[in-house]
């Protein structure tokens, strides 16, 4: 969602701020803006506009952005008020002394707005954010930090903010509650940003601001304190990945690049967690005794991560015999869940900043459960709030449609199931060894499927005219069907429904005729024959079938218009492979339809508000 960058140093702030925004484009936005303190006049100057960052650049070409040494910038994903230039950030107080960028939602903004209007503040936008500069201005008596501190304790909701004050042209203030914000520590320059990619080409030294902390940045100092004023000694992390990781490197889209990175992601995960055929999660923070003691497992997540959780349920129950429930985090947090210290709660999130997943994790901890994060982002809120973590090691994922992060999450779920299975008596060592041996083959299997790129692109071209897609799968590939449908609808905007194939006759079969395409995930498995029966029912109603099947299954051709093969693997591991053709299909269909693959409309990479 909204992206923030901020700069204080000796260089011209404007170009740095715009460059930072470009690196945050993946978060999803509908307008953008930048504000600086003019080096020669000391005045606050703002340029903002609707639409893409290139619109902002065009505006700056026409209206010039003065040379400055300090500034803040923002990409807005509209919540309160339409995406137009008035509602875009930064926002100022009536006297244009304070300037604010904000990510999050101020829940009590109406009360504050009324109060401030009575005091004479004149509001120009429909946003919740605008109360912040007015509130700071109303509390300001010469001490910038103090005014911000007094203001933020009156805000309810979630926020990450960057604030400038014309009276203090050397100081940038930032604070957070519930929305992500990092500080980049440079040489005689410092930065704030919503995420690391924004500043990766400037510095790799990062401080992750915690909830309830406020930071004062000058060009040569970063000072962090609690809202109460108590000083905090910050931990500076050095980011390992290079700036290349957040560039397209010759691929047409980030999504395509990330799809191609999946073999190496799998290799990295296996290398990190499989030691002499034993699974070891070094940051799990649970002793073998503790791990044995859990009587059930809950998995909470959103979107694609939720689908990975569903695969986890099948794998853990089958291999380890531990009951597992999987909830969408947004449902879990309000459903009064029954949990205790015998429940292990696994929160899966690529970003580690998804508002519902964070809230669900807090709810679970409050009810006595231990929370383990399965997360891709080091230092994210979820990781910091959880008892332990299993990193998914997928590297930065920029495409809004999650691909490599999902595959990494699924791989981790299998490893977790294998680890838990050791004490269960449900598997014998030979079975585990066989699954591990097949897991080790997964990167090579991925390369084989990727080599069928042209065939999948051709299938996509031939079928992109269908106005509706149904994705069917059974058992452990039911989540694959859900994920395939989500990918397609996210990036191509074609209505797509994922369904358990066994449920087809209970409703979705009504959709089927010659105008619908049905993607059937039908690899080798115990329920293969049942899947074939479903396919026959679809054919009988003239539905067009695209099947994903196991290499060597020639028979499936007679039931399908197209078949995409995956290499043979252990039945339980098939979801790791079957999802790849579906990712590629969605990608090529979206490209064929001319859609904005990496930044689909209305979507945000990380959903940091509820």
Is 349 near ligand AGP (CB under 6 A)?
yes
In the complex, the smallest distance separating the C-beta of residue 484 from ligand AGP, rounded to whole angstroms, is: 11
Q: Which of 357, 381, 421, 477 lies at the binding interface for ligand AGP (CB under 6 A)?
A: 357
Token pair, residue 469, equals 């897609």
Neighbour tally for 511: CB within 10 Å: 18
Q: Helices 262-273 and 429-450 meet at what angle, rounded to 10?
A: 160
Catalytic residue ranges: 2, 605
Is 1 near ligand AGP (CB under 6 A)?
no
Q: Which of 1, 21, 328, 400 lies at the binding interface for ligand AGP (CB under 6 A)?
A: 400
Is 265 near ligand AGP (CB under 6 A)?
no
Of 405, 8, 3, 400, the residue nearest 203 (C-alpha): 8
C-beta closer to ligand AGP: residue 20 or 309: 309
Of all residues in this chain, which one has the CB nearest to ligand AGP in the complex? 303
In the complex, the smallest distance separating the C-beta of residue 312 from ligand AGP, rounded to whole angstroms, is: 14
In the complex, the smallest distance separating the C-beta of residue 338 from ligand AGP, rounded to whole angstroms, is: 24
- CB-based contact 100:89 (threshold 8 Å): yes
Q: To which residue do tokens 């109603």 refer?
A: 541
# residues near ligand AGP by CB under 6 A? 16
Is 350 near ligand AGP (CB under 6 A)?
yes
Is 607 near ligand AGP (CB under 6 A)?
yes
Is 116 near ligand AGP (CB under 6 A)?
no
Contact code string over 5-44 relative to ligand AGP, x by CB under 6 A: ----------------------------------------
Q: Which of 31, 179, 351, 463 lies at the binding interface for ligand AGP (CB under 6 A)?
A: 351
Per CB under 6 A, the segment of 320-328, 348-356, 421-429, 553-561 that binds ligand AGP is 348-356
C-beta closer to ligand AGP: residue 450 or 603: 603
Q: Helices 574-592 and 453-463 meet at what angle, rounded to 10?
A: 50
In the complex, the smallest distance separating the C-beta of residue 376 from ligand AGP, rounded to whole angstroms, is: 8
Q: To which residue do tokens 């998914």 refer?
A: 392
Per CB under 6 A, the segment of 344-352, 503-511, 545-553, 556-564 that binds ligand AGP is 344-352
What does DSSP assign to residue 304?
Answer: H
Is 569 near ligand AGP (CB under 6 A)?
no
**Start-to-end C-alpha separation, the chain:** 11
In the complex, the smallest distance separating the C-beta of residue 490 from ligand AGP, rounded to whole angstroms, is: 5
How many angstroms separate the CA atoms of 429 and 268, rounded?
Answer: 24
Q: To which residue do tokens 């490197």 refer?
A: 249
Residue 549, Cβ density class (10 Å: 0-12 exposed, 13-18 middle, ≥19 buried):
buried
Per CB under 6 A, the segment of 58-66, 239-247, 250-258, 350-358 that binds ligand AGP is 350-358
Strand order across the beta sheet in which 172-177 lies: 91-92, 98-106, 157-165, 172-177, 213-218, 221-226, 231-232
Contact code string over 301-340 relative to ligand AGP, x by CB under 6 A: -xxxx-----------------------------------
Is 578 near ligand AGP (CB under 6 A)?
no
Q: Which residues contact 244 (CB under 8 A, 6 or more apart)?
A: none
C-beta closer to ligand AGP: residue 28 or 35: 28
Q: Which residues share a beta bridge with 325?
A: 298
Q: Which residues contact 40 (CB under 8 A, 6 or more apart)?
A: 66, 67
**Do you find a cis peptide bond into 24, omega within 30 degrees of 0?**
no
Per CB under 6 A, the segment of 126-134, 248-256, 398-406, 575-583 that binds ligand AGP is 398-406
Q: Which of 402, 574, 578, 599 lies at the binding interface for ligand AGP (CB under 6 A)?
A: 402
C-beta closer to ligand AGP: residue 32 or 349: 349
Token pair, residue 410, equals 């699924």
Of 606, 299, 564, 263, the residue nearest 411 (C-alpha): 263
Token pair, residue 520, equals 């059937």
Of 238, 242, 206, 241, the residue nearest 224 (C-alpha): 206
Per CB under 6 A, the segment of 207-215, 395-403, 420-428, 581-589 that binds ligand AGP is 395-403
Contact code string over 287-306 relative to ligand AGP, x by CB under 6 A: ---------------xxxx-
Window 481 to 510, contacts with ligand AGP (CB under 6 A): 490
Of 142, 133, 148, 139, the residue nearest 214 (C-alpha): 148
In terms of DSSP H, where are the helices of 422-557?
A: 429-450, 453-463, 478-492, 528-540
Per CB under 6 A, the segment of 132-140, 156-164, 238-246, 343-351 that binds ligand AGP is 343-351
Give the DSSP letter string of 246-264.
GS-TT-SSHHHHHHHTHHH
Q: Footprint of ligand AGP on this chain (CB under 6 A)?
A: 302-305, 349-351, 354, 357, 400-402, 490, 603, 606-607
């Amino acid at each position: 969602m909204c992206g923030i960058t901020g700069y204080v140093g000796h260089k011209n702030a404007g170009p740095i701020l715009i460059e930072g925004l470009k690196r945050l484009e993946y978060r999803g936005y509908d307008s953008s803006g930048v504000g600086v303190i003019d080096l020669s006049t000391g005045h606050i100057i703002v340029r903002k506009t609707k639409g893409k960052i290139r619109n902002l650049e065009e505006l700056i070409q026409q209206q010039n952005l003065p040379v400055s040494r300090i500034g803040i910038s923002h990409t807005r994903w509209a919540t309160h008020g339409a995406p137009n230039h008035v509602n875009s950030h930064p926002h100022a107080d009536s006297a244009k002394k304070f300037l604010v960028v904000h990510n999050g939602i101020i829940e009590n903004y109406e009360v504050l707005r009324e109060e401030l209007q009575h005091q004479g503040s004149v509001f120009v936008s429909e946003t919740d954010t605008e109360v912040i500069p007015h509130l700071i201005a109303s509390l300001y008596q010469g001490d910038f930090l103090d005014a911000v501190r007094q203001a933020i304790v009156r805000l309810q909701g979630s926020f990450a903010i960057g604030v400038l004050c014309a009276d203090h042209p050397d100081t940038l203030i930032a604070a957070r509650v519930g929305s992500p914000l990092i500080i980049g520590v440079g040489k005689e320059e410092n930065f704030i940003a919503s995420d690391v990619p924004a500043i990766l080409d400037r510095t790799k030294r990062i401080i992750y601001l915690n909830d309830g902390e406020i930071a004062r940045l000058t060009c040569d100092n970063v000072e962090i304190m609690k809202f109460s004023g108590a000083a905090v000694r910050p931990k500076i992390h050095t980011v390992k990945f290079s700036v290349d990781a957040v560039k397209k490197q010759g691929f047409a889209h980030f999504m395509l690049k990330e799809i191609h990175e999946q073999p190496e992601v799998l290799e990295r995960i296996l290398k990190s967690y499989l030691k002499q055929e034993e699974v070891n999660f070094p940051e799990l923070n649970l002793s073998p005794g503790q791990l044995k003691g859990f009587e059930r497992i809950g998995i909470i997540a959103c979107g694609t991560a939720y689908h990975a959780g569903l695969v986890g349920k099948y794998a853990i129950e089958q291999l380890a015999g531990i009951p597992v429930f999987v909830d969408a985090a947004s449902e879990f947090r309000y459903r009064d869940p029954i949990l205790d210290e015998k429940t292990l709660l696994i929160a899966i999130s690529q970003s580690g900043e998804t508002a519902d997943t964070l809230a669900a994790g807090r709810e679970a901890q409050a009810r006595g459960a231990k929370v383990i994060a399965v997360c891709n982002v080091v230092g994210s809120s979820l990781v910091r709030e959880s008892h332990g973590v299993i990193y998914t090691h997928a590297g930065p994922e920029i495409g809004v449609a999650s691909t490599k992060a999902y595959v990494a999450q699924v791989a981790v779920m299998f490893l977790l199931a294998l680890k838990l299975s050791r004490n269960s008596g449900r598997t014998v060592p030979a079975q585990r060894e066989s699954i591990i041996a097949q897991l080790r083959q997964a990167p090579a299997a991925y390369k084989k499927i990727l080599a069928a790129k042209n065939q999948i692109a051709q299938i996509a071209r031939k079928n992109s005219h269908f106005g509706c897609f149904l994705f069917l799968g059974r058992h452990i590939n039911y989540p694959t069907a859900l994920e395939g449908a989500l990918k397609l609808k996210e990036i191509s905007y074609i209505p797509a429904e994922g369904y358990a194939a066994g449920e087809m006759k209970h409703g979705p079969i009504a959709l089927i005729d010659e105008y619908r395409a049905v993607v059937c995930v039908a690899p080798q498995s115990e329920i293969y024959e049942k899947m074939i029966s479903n396919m026959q029912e679809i054919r009988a109603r003239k539905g067009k079938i695209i099947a994903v099947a196991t290499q060597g299954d020639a028979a499936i051709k007679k039931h399908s218009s197209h078949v995409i093969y995956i290499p043979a693997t252990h039945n339980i591991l098939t979801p790791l492979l079957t999802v790849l053709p579906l990712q590629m299909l969605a990608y090529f269909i979206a490209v064929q339809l001319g859609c904005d693959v990496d930044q689909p409309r209305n979507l945000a990479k990380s959903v940091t508000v509820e």
